[in-house]
């Protein structure tokens, strides 16, 4: 589908659009989870982010956690129905010392039967991508965040192409790719369509959907009304239609949707959930999410 066609779909009567997108979803829901393995002191100036050193937010800052802490969090996640577990670190790119330790973390996660290792550690160079694959990392997460045409309004310390290059390296070395967006940062409807088409060209296995949760003391702290619930759902529907083979996944900010609309999305657009809390914001507990999956007569994906 091209941009014109997706714009027409976006403007369809709401119920018709969601009914159409529902034809592309399965009856399964996949859980994943993460550990915030290193927090804060990021050199990049992404305007939405609490972890940027450019803004004086009130988050906890700490260095890379130990293997023992990561494994404990992973085992707990697995006990709650999670099949994918991600090590997430702040920063533009992993430095040499931390990268070696992250490889050790991945080795430990790969020993946990029934759990698939994931990582979100920033922009990669070729050697780093090669080593991650060699150590058996199953999936790498790296968002485009927004449309290429809007990226300079979000961040100026790196560019959209830097992110795309990392996505290409991930696929080059045979890892699965998790690549998504943040909605509600002031983008236009046309730019949301551009995102859908950019993701279509990237062909990620998973598309995490984040909805901006404005953080105090960041440039976007007052961006509470840049997108409403109906337009969030319209965007999700178009994303699913444009990317039928990718699993759309609820991630940070889904709490901006009512419970009713979260359930509607799970019936018509969404096939994955990042359950539990996020990096610097809260989510829903796995128990709550399992209850919702059962309520909707969906099947929780298992290894």
DSSP letter string, 221-277: TT-SSSS-HHHHHHHHHHHHHH-TTSEEEE-TTGGGS-HHHHHHHHHHT--EEE-B-
Residue whose pair of structure tokens reads 């931390």 in the numeric block:
98
Q: Treating both helix axes as pointing N-terminal to C-terminal, what angle do 3-10 and 14-22 enclose, rounded to 10 degrees?
A: 120
Task: Print the domain residue range for 58.
Answer: 3-300
207, with CB counted inside 10 A (0-12, 13-18, 19+), is buried
* Rounded-to-integer distance, Cα 88 and Cα 51, Å: 12
Is the model's pLDDT at 71 over the cut of 80? yes
Nearest to 61 by CA among 86, 82, 42: 42
Q: What is the CATH number of the domain that holds 198?
A: 3.20.20.70
- Going by pLDDT thresholds of 50, 70 and 90, the confidence category of residue 41 is confident
pLDDT at site 128? 97
289, with CB counted inside 10 A (0-12, 13-18, 19+), is buried
Is the model's pLDDT at 40 over the cut of 90? no
Contact 262, 295 (CB under 8 A): no
pLDDT at site 282? 55
Model confidence over 235-265: pLDDT tens digits? 999 999 999 999 999 999 999 999 999 999 9
Share of the chain above pLDDT 90, in %: 83
- Average pLDDT (199-209) is 98
H helices within the chain, ranges in order?
A: 3-10, 14-22, 67-79, 96-109, 126-134, 160-172, 189-202, 229-242, 259-268, 286-295
- Going by pLDDT thresholds of 50, 70 and 90, the confidence category of residue 68 is very high
Model confidence over 95-125: pLDDT tens digits? 877 899 999 999 999 999 999 999 999 999 9
pLDDT at site 9? 98
Is the model's pLDDT at 83 over the cut of 90? yes
Contact 179, 141 (CB under 8 A): yes
Share of the chain above pLDDT 70, in %: 97
Q: β-pairing, 176-178 with 181-183? A: unpaired
| 3-state DSSP assignment of residue 52 | strand
pTM over the 0.75 mark = yes
pLDDT at site 1? 85
Looking at the structure of the chain, the number of domains it has is 1
pLDDT at site 22? 98
Mean pLDDT in the chain? 93
């Amino acid at each position: 589908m091209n941009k014109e066609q997706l714009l027409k779909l976006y403007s369809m009567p709401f119920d018709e659009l969601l009914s159409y997108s529902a034809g592309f979803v399965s009856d399964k829901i996949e859980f994943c989870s993460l550990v915030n393995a290193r927090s804060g002191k990021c050199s990049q100036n992404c305007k939405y982010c609490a972890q940027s050193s450019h803004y004086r937010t009130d988050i906890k800052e700490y260095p890379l956690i130990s293997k023992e802490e990561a494994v404990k969090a992973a085992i707990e996640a697995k006990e709650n129905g999670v099949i994918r577990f991600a090590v997430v670190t702040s920063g533009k790119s992993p430095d040499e010392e931390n990268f070696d330790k992250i490889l050790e973390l991945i080795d430990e996660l790969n020993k946990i039967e029934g759990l698939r290792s994931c990582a979100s550690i920033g922009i990669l160079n070729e050697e780093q991508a090669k080593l991650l694959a060699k150590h058996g990392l199953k999936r790498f997460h790296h968002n485009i965040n927004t449309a290429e045409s809007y990226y300079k309004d979000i961040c100026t310390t790196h560019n959209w192409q830097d992110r795309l290059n990392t996505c290409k390296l991930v696929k080059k070395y045979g890892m699965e790719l998790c690549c998504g967006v943040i909605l509600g940062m002031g983008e236009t409807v046309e730019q949301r369509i551009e995102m859908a088409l950019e993701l279509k060209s990237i062909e990620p296995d998973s598309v995490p959907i984040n909805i901006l949760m404005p953080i105090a003391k960041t440039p976007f702290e007052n961006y509470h009304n840049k997108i409403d619930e109906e337009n969030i759902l319209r965007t999700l529907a178009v994303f699913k239609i444009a990317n039928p083979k990718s699993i759309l996944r609820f991630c940070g900010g889904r709490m901006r949707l009512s419970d009713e609309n979260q359930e509607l999305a799970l019936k018509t657009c969404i096939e994955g959930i990042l359950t539990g809390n996020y990096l610097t914001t809260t989510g829903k507990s796995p128990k709550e999410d399992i209850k919702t999956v059962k309520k909707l007569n969906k099947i929780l994906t298992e290894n």
